[in-house]
Amino acid sequence: MSAKILIEMAGIERVFHTEDVETYALSGIDLSINEGDYFAISGPSGCGKSTLLAIMGLLDSPDSGTYELGGSDVSHLSAYQRAILRNQEIGFIFQSFNLIGDLNVFENVELPLTYRQMSGAERKDRVKEALDRVGISHRAKHYPSQLSGGQQQRAAVARAVAGKPSILLADEPTGNLDSKSGEAVMELLSELHQDGSTICMVTHDPRYAEHAMKSIQLFDGHIVRDKTTLEEVAS
């Protein structure tokens, strides 16, 4: 039985305009991610990785091309429609953690769930389950400033998985961590994948890209290597 396609992109282009200059951040991007994949997007700084992840995460829209999420075309949704779908279907793990300093860990993880039609009891159960899953239940009442970098990233991962999204998008999740904490977060992502999570990770580090089962490499907005098909792609 073939895997179900979760994300399908075809001919994606994103152009940024500065005065009279057009900069193609992405050009002719085709990719597919199946449910249960662990997918990596790698390449040097400025190659288009974060732009691609922003489109994938419905934080931005392409200028041309099609993007289907779960079989529905989401290429040209309004900002409001993207926000609703993003809250329901996508979990984000950011390099800078993006935790709210005035909220404790439990409250940070719970916050995205408050925008859903969900009872307080269900939110509490979801948060406890997520914190257990990433191993920081004992830090639930601590504030971000009381946590190490690795613990803050675990809290951010808990926030991402609490909503039970269709896909986790991780943007340089080890970028602000020391090597030991970075390896621990990569092990956590691998465990989440083994438990059934679909993950797409952006990284500039080829060592971390090797953790993924499929990957593409970008350069100047083009795919130059595609390890989903094990073939070189002309740039």
> Which positions ≥6 away from 232 have C-beta within 8 Å?
224, 225, 226
Q: Global pTM?
A: 0.90
In the chain, which stretches have pLDDT less than 70?
A: 1-2, 229-235
Instruction: Output b/e per residue, 126-152; b: 16+ Cβ within 10 A.
Output: bbbebbebbebbebbeebbeebeebbb
10 Å Cβ neighbour count for 223? 23
Q: Which two tokens stand for residue 128?
A: 């406890």
The H-or-E segment that residue 65 falls in is strand 64-69
Q: State the DSSP string of 192-217.
A: HHHTT--EEEEES-HHHHTTSSEEEE
**Is 190 within 8 Å of 212 (Cβ atoms)?**
no
The H-or-E segment that residue 191 falls in is helix 179-194
Q: Which two tokens stand for residue 60?
A: 């931005």
Mind listing the domains of the chain with CATH numbers? 5-232 (3.40.50.300)
Residues written for the chain:
235
Q: Which two tokens stand for residue 124?
A: 């509490």
Q: What is the DSSP letter of 128?
A: H
Q: Which two tokens stand for residue 144?
A: 């971000």
Which pLDDT does position 227 carry in this prediction?
Answer: 85
The H-or-E segment that residue 173 falls in is none
